[in-house]
Structure 1
């Protein structure tokens, strides 16, 4: 092939490749734009976005394929906010959600994994997720399910709420379940601050018959995150529960996925909680257990404590 034709062919191939697959810098710009537009702290969001663009301009991500780019961006961003994550799925199938109460795909059995009475008359309630419900819905099956679980365990002499591996869920369930163990009107609930509003986890309608004196133990591990951490942190800060297990994930700030096109999406935190007692939250630090043990030993440790309680 003559040299001129070879050069023309290479130019055409280069142009086609550029059109077929957006270069990584364009994808990084889209991630940065989403952070700058949606992060709950506008000034910090701008700083994070600007720093990310500088990394991209240096060529740091240029050689990465789509999945490797998503992984690299998640690794780059996660230390700044434990909820940050970038996904590549080959399609732009996600959408944007606001902070505050949000709907998820309904979890199995409304997020209730185990309801049992263990030897020693100890109630054991394990959650896989904090299922969402609207307080205005008197027939919400999620609230009916947790009411039934709590009623089944109402006669036990101590309670264990097991949140090992629970990745989070809905603030409405966090507040409602916490209200089952504190006096009505207790000022213990986290308040979430977004760019435009303030939202509280305090339930519109608290649990009708709270057990304010029952010994209460909450199990956590490194897989306990987000709303599950909020429940544990709320009751630990109020000195209402003993936390048993491993330090939790440290993912405090809620948000949602933003579709960036070309199969990419990014989770951006658009709210941040403040506890009325500690005046802070558990972002990055996680929840330090009162009784430290491994995840697989946490239930046995809590059972020993519960059986010794009076």
Structure 2
């Protein structure tokens, strides 16, 4: 038994308890009204059988008070079909209203009526504000069209942005939907705005944008904000939903009431009971869904009281966005490490759509997403501007403790050294404590017969110490070109060479060197791995590295609080881009957690074979 059937059955059972003045045909007649007129008939499946059962019931309804009975029936129907718009009332004095024909009203009276029902104002920053409480139909619009142009439209047409205030809009005419929507679309091509199904006639009417209008269109490029509240109802909801899904307007405020495009109030048989039932439903051609019952969800949810201020803030932000996007594009074109990519990326960025951005955080998110999409570089992104830490003046004891915490060393069987550190330091800082590092770290592994460098958790850091660190694994008799670095801002390429002078002894070029990597190995650590692998100085064991970049620089976008993190340097090889973005494949691929045991096994077998 369906929910609709359960509703009628429960009412009929309840009616068997006592006697009253109401006939069971009341229930039957009400059910027939729903069956013949309710806009979503599929919710009423199975009701015919229950109507037949109700027709043969001779008991009298048990509720004697008609208003109470109407309330009970209302709750039952709402709960059964899940539609809060259906209502049963008892109104013995009700007289159906007959819409009067559009009267011949003197122009001065029409002008007064328009001024009273539509509030028009041009706010600061050339923002148009229209407060509309009733959306007129096409017939009335044609009649008062010249006055609408004179008193409203001509005032707002030259503005830079518009706010439509529907927070108090509770009525309107169905024919007004395409009329008002068309002013915010282009004349061509015509757009399928909405489809309205009328249940009594079983006819679906398609609403399309209008090719010709009285006066000029507002167009599709200028910002349009629609304000809503929990009271926004009916046709205004339809207009808001259409413009939202056409991506022509941003809805700011509260979720709307969830009304209907058309409700009929139908008399139940010969009684004084009436059923208010939605007889038509809107189905949006873009979403395939309706705003009815559930309302229109705002794009930016705020209280109705705060909606206007929020809308103004959104419009001001959107006025700034083109300049901010252009500033970001210029920074990329002038500074990104890969010039050809940077120029192409800048063009793509400027051409991207940002017209529906409503908040600064949305802009940051979209900028980052577009930078990644157009460049494929996860190092190129919007970032937070983190101020540099103030300089410290640590004591020698503090330096020693810092070194002990930052480095881990060990000597395994067969005199195999192990060195782990998880970030590369800036050369100036490292140079200042070089002797401490040599005494407390390097001297523990310098006399080993082979060395394992564990970079599985090394996330990068400064590349300024790369040349010095690499130099320990080459001999001092000649300088070696470790890498060639291209710097975009200066458009220069420099050779990264081994250093002739080092603090402490060199490990040299003869002893075995194994480097452990993982998918977390990034930045400066990758540069070291790239150099050691390219020059054949080390065996790489583990997982492919992350594919990061040289340490990026932070740029302020225009005069805003948006900051762009961007690599400006890349390793320059004759084969093209090296490890940036792609990572470095190991010689021996194994899971990261197995890399150390694999390295030890290789070296132990090597030394066992020498004995």
TM-score by length of 1: 0.76
2: distance between equivalents of 1:105 and 1:45?
38
Distance 1:253 1:262, change over 3 A: same
Question: Shift of the alpha carbon at 1:288?
Answer: 1.1
Distance 1:181 1:66, change over 3 A: same
**What is the SS of the residue equivalent to 1:201?**
strand
Per-residue CA deviations over 1:93-137 (Å, capped at 9, x if unaligned) read 227x9xxxx98999x936833111122221111111212343xx7
Question: Shift of the alpha carbon at 1:36?
Answer: 1.1
Question: Shift of the alpha carbon at 1:83?
Answer: 3.0
Superposed, 1:193-208 pairs within 5 Å as 193-195=197-199, 196-202=202-208, 206-207=212-213, 208=215
Aligned to 2:39: 40
Distance 1:245 1:26, change over 3 A: same
Distance 1:232 1:33, change over 3 A: same
Alignment partner for residue 216 of structure 2, among 209, 216, 219? Answer: 209
Alignment partner for residue 196 of structure 2, among 189, 192, 195? Answer: 192
Distance 1:51 1:170, change over 3 A: farther
Superposed, 1:125-204 pairs within 5 Å as 125-134=130-139, 139-141=142-144, 143-144=145-146, 146-147=148-149, 148-184=151-187, 185-195=189-199, 196-202=202-208
Alignment partner for residue 81 of structure 1, among 80, 83, 92? Answer: 83
Aligned to 1:10: none
**What is the SS of the residue equivalent to 2:72?**
helix
Distance 1:47 1:152, change over 3 A: farther
Contact 2:260–2:278 under 8 Å retained in 1: no
Superposed, 1:93-108 pairs within 5 Å as 93-94=95-96
Aligned to 1:7: none
**What is the SS of the residue equivalent to 2:122?**
strand
TM-score by length of 2: 0.41
Pick which of 37-46 and 286-295 moved more.
37-46
1: distance between equivalents of 2:128 and 2:167?
16
Q: Which runs of no fewer than 5 residues in structure 2 stay unpaired?
A: 1-18, 104-111, 320-611
Length, aligned pairs only: 280
Root mean square deviation, CA, Å: 3.5
Distance 1:119 1:202, change over 3 A: same
Distance 1:43 1:288, change over 3 A: closer
Contact 1:253–1:272 under 8 Å retained in 2: yes
Question: Shift of the alpha carbon at 1:22?
Answer: 4.7
Contact 1:31–1:266 under 8 Å retained in 2: yes
- Report which of the two structures shows the higher radius of gyration computed on alpha carbons: 2
Is the aligned partner of 1:293 residue 2:302? yes
Aligned to 1:306: 315
Which structure has more relative contact order (CA 8 Å, sep 6+)? It is 1
Distance 1:273 1:49, change over 3 A: farther
2: distance between equivalents of 1:187 and 1:139?
21
Q: Which runs of no fewer than 5 residues in structure 1 stay unpaired?
A: 1-17
Question: Shift of the alpha carbon at 1:24?
Answer: 7.1
Question: Shift of the alpha carbon at 1:39?
Answer: 1.9
2: distance between equivalents of 1:71 and 1:251?
20
